[in-house]
Amino acid sequence: MTWSQWFIFFLIIQVIHGLGTWKLYIKAGKQAWEAFVPVYNAVILMKIINRPWWWTILLFLPIVNLIMFIVVWVETARSFGKNTHLDTALAVLTLGFYNYYLNYVADVSYIENRSLQPKSGSGEWTSSILFAIVAATIVHTYFIQPFTIPSSSLEKSLLVGDFLFVSKFHYGARVPNTTVAAPMVHDTIPILQKKSYLFDDHKDSKSWKNLLQLPYLRIPGFEKIERNDIVVFNQPADTLLDMNNFHPDRNYYKPIDKKTNLVKRCVGVAGDTLEVRDGFVYINGKKNELPDRAHLQFSYFVQPKTSQFNPKYLKDRYDITDGFGIINNQNTYYFSAISDEALAKFKNNPNVVSITPNIKEKGERDPSIFPHDPNYNWNIDQFGPLYIPEEGKSIAITVDNLPLYKRAITEYEGNTLSVNGNQILINGEVANSYTFKQNYYWMMGDNRHNSIDARAWGFVPFSHVVGKPVFIWMSWDGSSPRWKRFFTTVSGTGKATSFLIPFLVLIAAYFGFSQWRKRKKAE
C-alpha cells in the first residue's frame, strides 16, 4: 500500500477501536471521545491497563506490534476482571474483537489497582519470553543484527564462519517493508523450513497479502557509505526460483527486506565511473587502493611435477583455502583463489613447475556478466567503463546505454519503460534523459574469480543496503574456533586485535562485584 492508503487504513482501525472500547473507557473514568482520537487513544489505554505510556511507541513498530497487540488485548480484558484462560484465548483468537463483547454485552467493572504480577509460573515465563522477544526484535531491526559469513568472496578480510555484528544505525536503519513476519528471522523459519513472512511471491501477484507491505522508509544514519567499505545488503536480483538468474528484466518476487543478505566490498560509490582492467578496479581512471586488511585473490592454472597437492598443507603453509582440482588430462590444476602473498611463497614450492594467471582477454564477452547484452563485450576481468548513478543527477538515455540503466529505472525506481524504434518512453512519455531518485553502489568481492557480485547483477540501490559490519564476535573454521578472531573489529588499519581477554576480564569483574554487593547487603 502507499502511504495514503496506509493512512486511510490507520483511520479505519481507529474507528474500529473506538467503537469496540468507548464504554470501557467510560467505566475506567475516561471520556468516550478519547477512545477515537488516533495515538492519544493508545496513550489513554496504557493508563487504563496500568502500563507505561511508551508502550504506545511499540504499537507502531512493524513486527514488534504483532506481539504488542496481543499483549494489549489480553491486558484490556484483565483490566475489567476477565482473567481466565478462556478470556485470554478469546481475546487472542478473536484478534481483539472480544472487546466488543466486553463493551456491549458483558457486565464488567474496571479494576483500577489490579496486580500486574503473573498469577502462575507459566504466566511469568510467558511474560518474560514475550518481552525478551520484543526487546531482541527492536535491537535486531534498528540497531545490531548478527550475521554469518557464508562464502569466501571476502576471504582474508572476512572468513567463512565469521560471526559478525552488523550495525543498522551507521547508514540508517531501514523500517521493515514486511509488516507481518516472524521476529528475528530472515526469509525462512529455522527447523520448520517454512517462509517466515506473509507475502505472495508469485510474479505480478494482486494478492491482498501484498497490500500489507510498507513503502520504503529509512531512519537517517550518521555515516555515508564510503569507497571500500564492507557492506551487508539484500541481493537485488534475488529470486525464489534461481537467485543466480541475472536477466535484466524483472525476475525476483521477494520483498526487499526478505531478499538474500550478502556481504561485499563497496568498490564504487554513487557518482563514480568504474572500470575493471585485468581484474583490478579503476575509479575515475585511477587504480582503486584497498585498505591494508584487504587481500585480493585471483584464480590460477598450476602445472605440478606430480599430480597431488595436499589441501591441509597448502592451507597451513600458504593460507590457500579455496578449492582446487585437476581440470584436464595434462596434469594441470585449477586454483580458484590465491592471494598475492600466498602466490609469492607458493611459486617456490618444489612441486610447482609453472603458475599462469586465469585472466580473460579484453573484448571476450561473457553472457553471464552485466548488462547481459550482446553489444557489451565485457567479462569478469575486463569490464566498463560504467557510470554509477547518483541521487538527483541526470544522465542522457539512449538505446545504446539503456541496457545499463533499464533495471535501475524500472525495478528499483518504479517506472514503466518501453522502446519504440529509437524512442525511449518512461511512464508513457518520450525521454532523452533520466534523473535518479536514489544512490547506487558497486559491490564486489576481494576474491575476484570466486565471487558472485555486482559484475553479475549490476547496481545495488541504497534501498537494498542493510548495514555495516563492525565486529567479529566469534569465528569457526568448520572444526575448531579461530580464537585470534574472537572480538575483533572488521574495519581499521593494521592487524586486527582480539579483545576477547579484556572482555572476559570485564565479565569476571562484573560478576565478582555483583557477588560482593550481595554479601554486603546481607550483612
Nine cell digits for residue 495: 592487524
pLDDT at res. 119? 67
Q: Is the pLDDT of residue 381 over 70?
A: yes
Cα distance between residue 349 and residue 302, in whole Å: 11
Respond yes or no: is residue 122 known to be catalytic: no
3-state SS class at 40:
helix
pLDDT at res. 115? 76
Given 30, 79, 82, 153, which residue is catalytic? 153
Instruction: Give me the architecture of the 297-357 domain, per CATH.
Output: 2-Layer Sandwich (3.30)
User: pLDDT digits over 453-496, tens only?
Assistant: 999 999 999 999 999 999 999 999 888 899 999 999 998 777 88
Quickly tell me which residue has 506490534 as its cell.
65
Q: How many residues make up the chain in this entry?
A: 523
User: pLDDT digits over 149-163, tens only?
Assistant: 888 889 888 999 999
* Domain residue ranges of the chain, discontinuous segments joined by +: 3-116, 297-357
Query: Most confidently modeled of 206-215, 290-299, 384-393?
Result: 384-393
List % helix, strand, coil for the chain (3-state, nearest 5): 30, 20, 45
Give me the phi and psi of 298, to 5 degrees please: -130, 165
Beta-strand pair 188-189/417-420:
unpaired
Average pLDDT, the chain: 90
Given 82, 156, 264, 360, which residue is catalytic? 264
3-state SS class at 473:
strand
| CB-based contact 159:151 (threshold 8 Å) | no
Respond yes or no: is residue 205 known to be catalytic: no
Distances (CA, A) of 167 to 46, 143, 144, 164: 32, 6, 5, 10
- Residue 30 CA neighbour count, 13 Å, CB half: 25
Question: Please, which residues have CB within 8 angstroms of residue 73's CB and are 6 or more apart in sequence?
Answer: 91, 92, 95, 96, 98, 99
Nine cell digits for residue 87: 478470556
Query: Helices (DSSP H) in 105-206: which residue ranges?
Result: 121-142
Q: Which pTM was predicted?
A: 0.89
3-state SS class at 42:
helix
